[in-house]
Amino acid sequence: MYLTRKHISRRAVLRAAGVSIGLPLLDAMVPAATALAQTAAAPKLKAGFFYLPHGAIMWNTPYGAEMDHWTPSGAGADFRLSPILEPLEQYKQYVASFGQIENKAPRNSVHTLVPATWLSGVSPDDEATGALMAPTIDQLIAEHIGQETVLPSLEVSSETTQQRAACTGGSACYYSSTLSFRNETTPLPMEFNPRKVFVQLFGAGDTPEEREIIAGRTRSVLDLIGERSTELQRELGPRDRAVLSDYLESVRETERRVAKASERDLTGIELPDTPIGELSDFDAQVRLMFDLIALAYQANVTRVASYFMVGEGTNRTYNHIGVPDAFHPLSHHANNLDRIRKLVTVQRYHVERFAEFVDRLAHIPDGEGSLLDNSMLLYGSNMSNSDRHNNYPLPNILVGGGCGTLRGGQHIDLPERTPMANLLLTIVNKAGIERTSLADSTAEIAGV
């Protein structure tokens, strides 16, 4: 792609009245007569890690392969997604699945060590007085590709990750409530208040006082940068104007939905302290968090995101999809077929929301492709059969083009008990980090 329009910096933002908002990749960010791949505006890798607790229904129940609702089959034109993964059918050419993966790091800890060891592959130090594990790969990647963005990484969840069934007190809570360790001693909190996430992404002042003043003048960051965005529109070509208009409209719609979260009238109702902004509609909350991540990628606010889709050990119910049972008790299915089928429904539901996110990325232009073409997304769990709380085989898929580094449309059946760290090592190296080993890895996974 060669372009001749006026050059705008890829780091350009719209600023006004103490707020700033990043911009999507525009044609005008490419210098005249220059190949896109040779400029600072060349698409950059976006990495995402999407965690669902309590495993998936695979072949390791007494019903064997007959009830395996997770594992795909075949490759290329013969690649077939399972019932749980079927919502990704439209984008199966971007999906790589892995069989026979094991993670020994949780050490049969039931729920306690499972989330944090998913992206580290390292067992925490039980003798430490505080958190002591290893940095997770999202943070290794953030250190490598995230330093040019406003936020090196973003960590979110759909609900509080401090769940009694997983957090038994003391240092255990360090590992059950987060996916991300910045370094070996620093667990990162997962934010579930969408208003806080939005402000974190797009800003509303540098101090609480400044944010309060700005909030008093307007509820929209777009209102504050309206004049500057109008000026910029006049400087752009027709295609860039359309891209910018679509992007700003997406920001406006997300702002509207975030604002709705604080409009509940609780007058006369005594409730425990609740973070302002969390949506009471769980489905809307899940969708909104995915949309915030998509906006963060599009605006180049961050290139690395981790999403704890529902808390480990949660008692969340799924009435909106016909499953009134609490997720954690349901996960103890005791090989009851009715409970197993309900679990499949819950697990498929979360893939449906993830598939909507994938579809949105596929429709957002990013250089010569889409955000999906330039993303590497790990979706899965660090638990296998939730009734046994075991960690083999683990359900995990990679989705996206990875800036041309990933080959989807396949299920790779690995040797028995292949370390999860082999997949983690593969991911970090495809992100441009040259490592020969990670945790208990034995090799990269070939053919991905």
End-to-end alpha-carbon separation of the chain, Å?
27
The pLDDT tens digits of the residues spanning 115-164 come to 999 999 999 998 888 899 999 999 999 999 988 888 899 999 999 888 87
Cβ atoms 408, 89 nearer than 8 A: no
Token readout for 181 is 């360790």
- Provide the CA 348 distance to its chain's centre, in angstroms: 17
Residue 57's nearest CA partner among 86, 83, 91, 89 is 83
Mean of pLDDT over the chain:
86
Which run of H or of E encompasses 97? strand 95-102
Cβ atoms 57, 69 nearer than 8 A: yes
Residue 378 gets which letter from DSSP? E
CB-facing half-sphere around the CA of 256: CA atoms within 13 A: 6
Residue 102 gets which letter from DSSP? E
Whether this model's pTM surpasses 0.75: yes
Q: What percent of the chain has pLDDT over 90?
A: 60
**pLDDT exceeds cutoff 50 at 376:** yes
Q: Residue 43: what pLDDT? A: 81
Q: For 35-39, 261-265, 292-296, 375-379, which range has the lowest pLDDT when averaged over its residues?
A: 261-265
Q: Is the bond preceding 115 in cis, omega lying within 30 degrees of 0? A: no
- Looking at residues 289-309, what average pLDDT do you find? 93
Cβ atoms 174, 190 nearer than 8 A: no
| Total H helices, total E strands in the chain | 12, 15
- Provide the CA 14 distance to its chain's centre, in angstroms: 26
* CA distance readout (Å), 98 to 243, 378, 446: 36, 11, 11
- Looking at residues 316-331, what average pLDDT do you find? 97
**pLDDT exceeds cutoff 50 at 175:** yes
**pLDDT exceeds cutoff 60 at 254:** yes
Q: Going by C-beta distance under 8 Å and a sequence separation of 6 or more, which residues neighbour residue 127? A: none
Q: Residue 170: what pLDDT? A: 52
Distance CA 187, CA 343 (A): 30
Residue 214 gets which letter from DSSP? H
Higher pLDDT, 375 or 234: 375
Higher pLDDT, 75 or 194: 194
Distance CA 256, CA 263 (A): 11
Token readout for 105 is 């790091």
**pLDDT exceeds cutoff 60 at 238:** yes
Q: Which amino acid is at 354?
A: F
Token readout for 329 is 């008790």
Sorted by where each starts, the structural domains of the chain and their CATH numbers stand as 43-192+278-430 (3.40.720.10)
Going by pLDDT thresholds of 50, 70 and 90, the confidence category of residue 271 is very low
The pLDDT tens digits of the residues spanning 305-321 come to 999 999 999 999 999 99
Cβ atoms 112, 173 nearer than 8 A: no
Q: Residue 270: what pLDDT? A: 39
Cβ atoms 418, 441 nearer than 8 A: no
Cα dihedral 167/170/171/176 (nearest 10): 10
Q: What percent of the chain has pLDDT over 70?
A: 83
Q: Residue 9: what pLDDT? A: 77
CB count within 10 Å of CB 104 equals 17
CB count within 10 Å of CB 185 equals 15
